[in-house]
Amino acid sequence: MSTPFTESTGEQPPKTLKTAVEVFANLRQLQQSHDPLIISFPERSQHFQSYLVEVNRERGLLALDELVPNDGERFIQNGESFNVEGFHEGVRIAWKCEQKVQIGELEGARCYWSALPTEVIYHQRRNAFRAQLKQGPSIGIELAGSKLNKGIKGQLLDMSATGCKLRFQGNVNNRLQPGQVYEQLALQLPFGSLTTAAELRYLSYQDKLDVTFAGLRFFRLEGLAQRQIERFVFQLQRDARQQD
């Protein structure tokens, strides 16, 4: 059953982009927007975070920033292939790095040089209205779980039927791991509290603001939690339309 804030087109199937122009354009978007990337090695359970710091079409090369946590570098040194996944405005952009990666530097900072991929997966995954919290009191959240010694409190920035964006004060990169499922995401919504599991999809610390932004996808939502989220997002959408 569709909801009032679900787009009629729904989620689009993934596309494989193979032309050099398409590949370069999408990688360039990830670089210019400083979108976080999730790095995963097929034989490893741990995930790592990085960024695209250079995309050079003429040389056919790209550069990835140093992995976080940096112990993932030993897998690169071993010559292991890995998968790269990023999100830009609701679009999943992913590719495989199966060729030898050269560890080097870019403008004095450590990086990993790799050949441009011959194809990337382009997947428009966001099929739900994403509502931003613009007016009114901030909504507090707390993220907790078995992988955290102590819960981390923050604020809710936006929400859709499938996920949300959070803000934490300070740098919490050393406490959270992209790709990890946290069992307790507690939100204090206007009509009651909500707790659900959520998977951390990206993490980005902005040193000028001294805040960390996080994107999460709800994990195995139960019926009541789903209805609470839909109710809240619909309310935000209605308020936004009235303001417009």
Can you tell me the distance from the alpha carbon of 215 to that of 159, in angstroms, rounded to the nearest whole number? 10
Name all domains of the chain by residue range, CATH numbers in brackets: 15-124 (2.30.110.10), 131-243 (2.40.10.220)
What does the pLDDT profile of the chain (244 residues) look like in tens digits? 333 333 334 456 788 999 999 999 999 989 988 888 889 999 888 889 899 999 999 999 999 999 988 888 999 999 999 999 988 766 789 999 998 899 999 988 899 999 999 999 988 755 555 556 665 567 889 999 998 889 999 998 888 878 888 999 999 988 998 888 999 999 988 778 889 999 998 888 888 888 999 988 888 888 788 888 888 877 777 766 666 5
> Among all chains, which residue has been given the structure tokens 């959408």?
237
How is the beta sheet containing 61-65 ordered, strand by strand? 52-56, 61-65, 109-115, 102-106
> Among all chains, which residue has been given the structure tokens 């939502």?
221
Can you tell me the distance from the alpha carbon of 5 to that of 197, in angstroms, rounded to the nearest whole number? 22
- Spatial CA neighbour of 141 closest among 161, 169, 173, 162: 169
For residues 31 and 50, the answer to whether their CB atoms sit within 8 Å is no
pTM, two decimal places: 0.55
